[in-house]
Structure 1
Amino acid sequence: MLIQIYAFTDTKTAVKAVEMGVNHVGFVAGKYDVVPAELTFNEAREIVTALPPQATAVALTMAEDVDEIMRMVDAVQPNIVHISSDVDLVNVEMMRELHERLAGQARLMKAIPVENEGSIAVAKAYAAVSDVLLLDTKHADFPGVGATGLTHDWSVSRRIVETAGIPVIMAGGLTPQNVGAAMREIKPWAVDSNTSTNRESSNVEKDLTRIRAFVDAVHAAEKAQA
């Protein structure tokens, strides 16, 4: 089971997390004053270049313009581009264009808000123009999809995993206490943590002790399910 952690803001912590067993190192690329932990393109590139070869660099963007997203990709050079904007702001046709322009340069991942049965059709539409889907929780008070620390309807997530036809990452309020159950019930390709691995007093600093606890919980669940 692959492990993805958001949102790193410095190279030292990112590298240590990989040494602990984190596979996907997530960060927010672009200063748009929209979400916490935003980095300049240069800061994001520093994380990418510092990572060991086994790690996957995942750049989250809140940009809503294909040319602007490509500008980020050219500057940062991530392995995966994570589109976290709402589905009405980055629609399927925009994703199709982006997917074509990224061919051979980076994989494309779309965050899907899991809200109800209708989310299954939304996921299927975006799966046709993406390399990876990330299932997350949408909250009206938060921009984009995710970073709420809240879970969603896992039964819907399970059906998306079963029908998407591409790798699916499970996110949304995952903690060391519930990630094993999510792995058993949903059977995703990877699991993601953001808020539960932040320092208690910060939404922009990662806590290596909490990251270790999350990684250990994933590995323990894998052993129990083997």
Structure 2
Amino acid sequence: MFVKICGITNEEDALMATALGADAVGFVFAPSARQVSVGTVRDIVKRLPPEIVTVGVFRDQAPQLVIDTVLATGLRAAQLHGHESPQDAAEIRPYVQALIVGLAVGDPALAHVDSYGADALLLDSPVPGSGKVFDWALAEGVPVGRRMILAGGLTPENVGDAVREVQPWGVDTSTGVQADGDPLRKDPLKVQRFVRNARAAAPQPYHPEGHGPFDWADAGL
């Protein structure tokens, strides 16, 4: 189960999330209360273990800006979370190790998600970034056989149910693990419980004799 903690704004939370088992941390470059600067992210990325997937989150920003930001910060992945076109994605793809496209449940673009050439699809609520839960049954409309990261209002309390019902490839949270009274900080206990509950609910993969567990790095992330 691939676990991403998004909306990271400081080095302490980035290091804490990785220490507690997150596979990826996300930094928001789009207009948001959690928007971060290139300099801040560059300094944080330098301190993180090399196996951690560092993701820049962008929304309707020019492809060249996305490329320049990724190169300046050393990010491994870009997440396009607006109304970017497959052409925008194709322009960005050569400059990132992994590309994630974020789409809202019910978005007509889901029907041709393969045209984005993304490594993973992040499925969000109808109001992306709102932190609101959507009807998980709607995820049945997503094309099968793709790496799907479920987002939208996930918390330590509901992520287990979400994983069991939707059976996504990964999960993503931001608001669900924020510190009480401070949207710019993450709560270590919430992060720990989120990671633990997501992994506990994930189906145990079958490993044929002679083969080790699945390596997320092999998936391009």
What TM-score, normalized by structure 1, do the two folds share? 0.82
Instruction: Please give the per-residue CA displacement for 1:134-158, whole angstroms capped at 9, x wherever unaligned.
Output: 001133xxxxxx2211112312213
Matched, 1:62 2:62: no
Asked whether the equivalents of residues 112 and 136 of structure 1 are also in contact (C-alpha less than 8 Å), the reply is yes
SS of 1:147's equivalent in the other structure is coil
Q: Is contact 2:76-2:98 (8 Å) kept?
A: yes
Alignment of 1:111-130 (within 5 A): 111-114=102-105, 116=106, 119=107, 121-129=108-116, 130=118
Which residue is equivalent to 2:139?
A: 157
Structure 1 residue identity aligned to 2:133: T
> What is the CA distance between 1:63 and its match in structure 2?
4.8
Name the CA shift for 1:2/1:202 in 2 (closer, same or farther; >3 Å).
same
- Runs (4+) off by over 6 Å: 223-226
Secondary structure, aligned partner of 1:204: strand
Match of residue 187 from structure 2: 207
Task: Show the 5 A alignment for 1:104-183.
Answer: 105-114=96-105, 116=106, 119=107, 121-129=108-116, 130-139=118-127, 146-160=128-142, 163-183=143-163
The separation in 2 between residues aligned to 1:202 and 1:215, in whole angstroms, is 21
Over 3 Å counting, the alpha-carbon distance change for 1:223 and 1:111 in structure 2 is closer
In 2 relative to 1, CA 113–223 (structure 1 residues): closer, same or farther, beyond 3 Å? closer
Specify the SS of the correspondent of 1:44: helix
CA distance in 1, matches of 2:126, 2:141: 18
Separation (CA, whole Å) in 1 of partners of 2:22 and 2:86: 30
Structure 2 CA distance for aligned equivalents of residues 223 and 3 of structure 1: 14
Aligned residues of 1:131 and 1:167 also touching (Cα < 8 A):
yes
SS at match of 1:134: strand
Identity rate, percent: 27
Does structure 2 conserve the Cα–Cα contact (< 8 Å) formed by 1:63 and 1:69? no
Residue 18 of structure 1 aligns with which residue? 18
Residue 185 of structure 1 is aligned with which of 165, 168, 171? 165
Contact between 2:26 and 2:56, CA under 8 Å: does it hold in 1?
yes
Hey, what does 2:88 align to over in structure 1?
94
Distance, in Å, in 2 between the alignment partners of 1:173 and 1:137 is 8
Contact 1:112 1:122 (8 Å CA) reproduced? yes
Change (3 A) 1:224 1:69: closer
Matched, 1:71 2:68: yes
Q: TM-score w.r.t. structure 2 length? A: 0.84
Aligned length: 205
